[in-house]
């Protein structure tokens, strides 16, 4: 009888390295800017980073299952523009617009997932097409200049907070971020979460074992769309209405995920590491800003991280393929050269 196993927290799948880099950046921020000499400075950093971290968690679900979601940036823009147009400054409209926005995010994710799985179209192409569709629809609806306004009750999620004795003002966005992160970590510890990772590693094996690959992949896209809508609510409250509010966020989210050690192509990675990667990226950009480095360097940094991640994933795949080939060759040689067994009388 096997002894019962107990769960122990592990800093695996790239979590330890990204946490070490994050710790170094947080210490550097304390020396670079006086605002970070108190906890309020780091709470402000979390407040700014909350939409990106939530987007990265949603992107993690798709990447770890073997796909990409390039539509989240344009979805954020569409959500903010739709919210401003429908609310138009009216407090009474907020209570039904927020569920509508979340439902729209789920719908976009569902469409992405179904086209990817049912029509067998690569997720890169599907979500790139969705990005163009949403961008075109937003421009057609607004003419490049969004109309309407967000109500104060809508913006409280991105700007407001509660006062605590020690920490001071705790933003609601940080509270929402913590809830999402805990829920995502708990989900990935469940059987469904572990099977989702297995789909990214070898979906044929999961299918042969009775796993519902199509449903899991669709679920990943749905979660990505839902969290993109939530990030849009926070970002709209924090930054206001703009036709470029979500521009480039899809690449930032992917950069954050791979910075957290999640393998492009799926099959390996931790959701906590992906969230830490997003926070690390935001801390790095804040540090560069304090040091007076040009903001144009941000795109270069993201590009280097993505290229390095792709190269690492390709190198790892080649090494695994070579190892399997050598193992198969050795087994074949051993079976052909071993002497025949003699019969013992």
Q: Tell me the pLDDT of the chain (345 aa) as tens digits.
A: 444 444 333 444 557 788 888 898 899 988 887 888 787 888 889 999 999 999 999 999 999 999 999 999 999 999 999 999 999 888 888 999 999 999 999 999 999 999 999 999 999 999 999 999 999 988 888 777 778 888 888 988 888 888 777 667 788 999 999 999 999 999 999 999 999 999 998 898 989 988 899 999 999 999 999 999 999 999 988 877 888 888 889 999 999 998 888 888 877 889 999 999 999 999 988 888 888 776 667 778 777 877 876 676 666 555 554 545 555 555 555 555 555 544 444
304-325 pLDDT tens trace: 877 876 676 666 555 554 545 5
pLDDT for residue 215: 95
pTM here is: 0.86
Longest dimension (CA), the chain: 96
Q: What is the pLDDT of residue 18?
A: 86
Task: Residue 261: name the closest of 252, 250, 249, 274 by CA.
Answer: 274
Q: What is the CA radius of gyration of the chain?
A: 23
Whole-angstrom CA distances from 36 to 146, 287, 295 are: 35, 11, 20
- 148: left (phi > 0), else alpha (psi -120 to 50), else beta? left
pLDDT of residue 162: 83
d(CA 276, CA 46): 11
What's the residue count for the chain? Answer: 345
Contacts of 278 (CB under 8 A, 6+ apart): 49, 52, 53, 55, 56, 252, 253, 256, 257, 259, 260
The pLDDT value given to residue 99: 95
Dist. CA 78–CA 133, nearest whole Å = 10
Residue 331 confidence (pLDDT): 52
| 163-214 tens-digit pLDDT | 777 667 788 999 999 999 999 999 999 999 999 999 998 898 989 988 899 9
């Amino acid at each position: 009888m096997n002894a019962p196993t107990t769960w122990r927290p592990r800093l695996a799948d790239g979590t330890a390295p990204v946490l070490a880099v994050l710790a170094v950046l947080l210490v550097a921020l304390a020396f670079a800017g006086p605002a970070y000499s108190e906890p309020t400075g780091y709470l402000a950093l979390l407040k700014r980073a909350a939409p990106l971290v939530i987007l990265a968690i949603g992107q993690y679900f798709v990447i770890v299952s073997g796909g990409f979601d390039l539509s989240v940036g344009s979805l954020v823009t569409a959500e903010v523009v739709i919210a401003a147009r429908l609310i138009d400054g009216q407090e009474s409209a907020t209570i039904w617009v927020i569920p509508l926005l979340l439902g729209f995010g789920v719908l976009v994710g569902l469409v992405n997932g179904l086209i990817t799985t049912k029509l067998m179209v690569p997720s890169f192409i599907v979500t790139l097409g969705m990005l163009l569709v949403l961008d075109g629809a937003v421009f057609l609806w607004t003419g490049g200049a969004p109309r309407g306004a967000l109500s104060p009750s809508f913006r409280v999620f991105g700007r407001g907070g509660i006062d605590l004795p020690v920490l001071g003002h705790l933003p609601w966005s940080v509270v929402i971020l913590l809830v999402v992160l805990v829920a995502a970590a708990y989900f990935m510890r469940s059987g469904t979460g572990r099977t989702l990772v297995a789909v990214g590693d070898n979906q044929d094996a999961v299918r042969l074992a009775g796993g519902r690959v199509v449903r899991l992949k669709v679920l990943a896209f749905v979660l990505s769309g839902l969290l993109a809508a939530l990030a849009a609510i926070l970002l709209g409250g924090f930054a206001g209405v703009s036709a470029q509010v979500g521009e480039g966020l899809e690449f930032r989210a992917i950069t954050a995920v791979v910075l957290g050690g999640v393998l492009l192509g799926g099959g390996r990675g931790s959701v906590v590491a992906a969230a830490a990667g997003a926070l690390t990226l935001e801390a790095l950009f804040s540090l560069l800003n304090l040091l007076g480095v040009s903001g144009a360097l941000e795109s270069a940094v993201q590009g280097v991280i993505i290229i390095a991640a792709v190269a690492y994933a390709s190198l790892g795949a080649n090494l695994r393929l070579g190892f399997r080939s050598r193992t198969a060759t050795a087994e074949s040689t051993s079976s052909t050269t071993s002497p025949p067994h003699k019969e013992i009388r």
